[in-house]
Amino acid sequence: MAREGYRVILTGAEHLYFDHPYDVDSSEPGLTWAHKMLSTKDVYSFVPDDSFLDLPVDCNGSLFCPQRSIHMLEGIQGTLFGELVRTSDLLDYMLLPRVIALAERAWREAPWHKISDPMKKEEALESYWGEFATTVGYKELDRLDQLGFKYRVPTPGAIIKDNILYTSTEFPGLVVEMSRTGKSHWIIVHSGHTPVAPGEKINIRARSANGQRYSRTVTLLNR
């Protein structure tokens, strides 16, 4: 339609359909009809202009003109089909924080977009994502808590190396907690400083900015 001169709003399934799960895990809500997962970073890294570059011909075999189509692009739109969304809390979960990344791409051109060197382009993306994720973790999630939104608390990453637990979170500033085998209470993890005994099984989770909600729990075994 853009090629034919119609002004369009782009909403591609692989990057902008928020009914997809955040992660490849059976406990994550969502549908996988177009993509197995759609993380907040996937949304952030989407460059609308690039979606026209891989289409040399249209469905009729005519030469495709990406520049003309880009000129007809009015904006981008996130989409959430609601057949699995039964509660307002789940609606918040599926939309946030992905909608923040959508807004960033809708209102601001990707700074790495015009870098021609693939390696430098990827490095720039990682750098800008780091800045964005830090802002979300230290400012925006707290704001969402104050407004009462039940956003998704991301599952932390973790590895045990030389009997020491190392953790990370998608959004810096979120606290990671751990519970040991047979213990019901949770303690704060200090990445790189929390010991884990050989053969010990532990559970880890991240908590929301206000400390009242938690991510999915992950179990690790120190082999």
Q: pLDDT per residue over 32-70, tens digit each?
A: 988 899 999 999 999 876 655 544 444 555 544 555 556
pTM for this model (two decimals): 0.85
User: What digits encode the pLDDT tens for the residues 65-121?
Assistant: 555 556 677 788 999 998 889 999 999 999 999 999 999 999 888 889 889 899 999
Where in the chain are the domains?
A: 8-147, 157-221
Tokens coding 190: 């200090």
CA distances for 223 relative to 159, 160, 186, 191, 197, angstroms: 11, 9, 22, 19, 9
Which CATH number is 157-221's, of 3.40.50.300, 3.40.640.10, 2.60.40.10, 2.40.370.10? 2.60.40.10
